[in-house]
Structure 1
Amino acid sequence: MPRMIYDYTKSILERVSFAPDLFVKELKKAVRNLLPHEMDHLRNWLSYYTKEKPELQEYLFIVERN
């Protein structure tokens, strides 16, 4: 089940990546809902995913501090 939540979170973040304000909102939800090891996976994925999206890179601090 936890893997499903992680995958769902990734899909939501991909879908809302066109709007930074929605992206931040969903990223904050992810921080509240994911387990610590899932957060590690999410940090790695976000690092890769945002390489092509510099407008989203400034919001990675949300997952870095947790």
Structure 2
Amino acid sequence: MARAMFEYTKTVLKKVSFDATLFCKEVEKAVKRLLPHELEELRIFILSLINQNPELNKSLIYLQA
């Protein structure tokens, strides 16, 4: 079930990546829902999105320990 949540989160983040504010809100929600080991995978995924859309960089603050 948890893996399904991670895949769902990635799908949502891809869809909202056009708006940095909305993207940040979704990342904040994901941090509350996902397991600790999934958060590292999420960080890698977000870094790949940042390569395409640099304004999403501010979302990384939600992934700080």
Q: TM-score, normalised by structure 2?
A: 0.91
Secondary structure, in 3 states, of the residue corresponding to 1:59? Answer: helix
Q: Which runs of 5+ in 2 are unaligned?
A: none
CA RMSD of aligned residues (A): 0.9
- Taking structure 1 as the reference length, the TM-score comes to 0.90
Summarize the alignment of residues 23-62 of structure 1 with structure 2, pairs less than 5 Å apart.
23-62=23-62
Unaligned residue ranges in structure 1 (runs of 5+)? none
May I ask how many residue pairs the two structures share in their alignment? 65
Which protein is richer in helix relative to its size?
A: 2
Q: Percent identity?
A: 42
Which contiguous aligned blocks of 4+ residues in structure 1 show a shift greater than 4 angstroms?
A: none
